[in-house]
Amino acid sequence: MEQDFSMLDAIISKYRNRSGILIPLLQDVQHTLGYLSKEAMRYVSVQMGIPAADIYGVATFYSMFKLKPQGKHIIRVCKGTACHVSDADGIKEALRSELGLQGDEDTTSDMMFTLMEVACLGCCSLAPVIMVDDTTYGKLNPESIKAILERYGEEA
Q: Which residues bind other proteins (CB under 8 A)?
A: 19-24, 26-27, 54, 57-58, 61-65, 79-86, 118-127, 129, 134, 136-138
Q: 64-73 burial, b for 16+ CB within 10 Å, e for fewer?
A: ebbeeebbbb
Beta carbon of residue 83, minimum distance to other proteins (angstroms, whole number):
8
Beta carbon of residue 25, minimum distance to other proteins (angstroms, whole number):
8
Residue closer to other proteins (CB basis): 3 or 61 = 61
Residue closer to other proteins (CB basis): 2 or 20 = 20
Q: 45-62 burial, b for 16+ CB within 10 Å, e for fewer?
A: bebbebeeeebbebbeee
Beta carbon of residue 2, minimum distance to other proteins (angstroms, whole number):
27
Q: 76-101 burial, b for 16+ CB within 10 Å, e for fewer?
A: bbbbbebbeebbbeebbebbbebbeb
Can you tell me the distance from the alpha carbon of 148 to that of 43, in angstroms, rounded to the nearest whole number? 39
Beta carbon of residue 123, minimum distance to other proteins (angstroms, whole number):
5
Residue closer to other proteins (CB basis): 6 or 18 = 18
Residue closer to other proteins (CB basis): 2 or 143 = 143
